[in-house]
Amino acid sequence: MLSILIPVYNTSVIELVSRILEMIKRLDIDYEIRIADDASTDKNLKAENQKLTKHKNCFYHTFTKNKGRTATRQFLAEQAHYKHLLFFDADVMPLRENFLQIILEYLGKASVVFGGVTYPEKPSDNTKLLRYYYGKSRESKPATKRNKKPYLSLISQHLLIEKSVFLACNPAEEKAYGLDIYFSYLLQKQKVSVLHIDNPTLHLGLETNAQYLVKTHEGLQTMVNLEKAKKLPEDYRPLQRVGSALKKTGIHKQLLKLIKKRESQLIKNLCGTKPNLRLFDLYRLDYYLKLKQNAQD
């Protein structure tokens, strides 16, 4: 009935799988849990994760070379026995004890079902405040809001999806950070039915401020690369539309000059104890415009 798929890289999934198994005990379903380790470098962690195969219907595969999250998911989907796939990232945890029961109620009601993401009430680490506040403010939304923009609101930290749909829309040939945007666009292009519900997972694996800025750069580079390859429209996301509007008026040149003068102050704020998300929007827009300019030179 359900293939539960977890790509892993240097992260323990003992607690996650244990929680899933506890929920399965209360349900009468056919299931499998498949874990794929994408060439983790932490040998002790890999050894601990591999012990999960002692559990019924729990399978573990490890790669000798890093393939990236998208290709790892592709492998898991291809190996899956059932037509309904439930993906979990290794750094999330179902918030509710009846998470799986709720998921089962939506089998067949849409090709893609996303329950949302939530964050702890308080940040646990002051070095991760930017990612924490961004997630809590921009990603943690009720289903009523997410269903207004179903494709743009998708975050693949956990996802219930039909196997045939995933294999048709997963950009397996790409290896880059920030491919969720391309995945959501392909779903929209094929008019796949997407349903948002209130059944969130707790996002635990937050990056430090500096790490998140680097990932932001990588995600924006991926977006520009996809645009350049004509795989993604240049007006798909709001950031792209704002960037295009500024370029048409020529204001983008003034913005680039202004940010260049104050870049160190901007980064200091974003990596500080009170990161301003409006400034983060400006930082992202500036970096996107610079990438676009470099791509045209």
* Mean pLDDT in residue range 249-270: 87
The 10s digit of each residue's pLDDT in 197-208 is 999 999 999 999
Helix then strand then coil, in percent of the chain rounded to 5, is 50, 15, 35
- The two beta strands, 201-203 and 92-94, are antiparallel
Region of residue 253 (phi > 0: left; psi between -120 and 50: alpha; otherwise: beta): alpha
The 10s digit of each residue's pLDDT in 46-93 is 999 999 999 999 999 999 999 999 999 999 999 999 999 999 999 999
Distance of alpha carbon 163 from alpha carbon 112, whole angstroms: 10
* Mean pLDDT in residue range 12-25: 97
Indicate the CATH number for domain 2-203.
3.90.550.10
If you average pLDDT over every residue of the chain, what do you get?
A: 94
- The band of 218, judged by pLDDT with boundaries at 50, 70 and 90, is very high
Give span(s): CATH 3.90.550.10, the chain: 2-203
Whether 297 has a pLDDT exceeding 80, the answer reads no
pTM score: 0.94
Token pair 């709001």 in the structure block, residue: 238
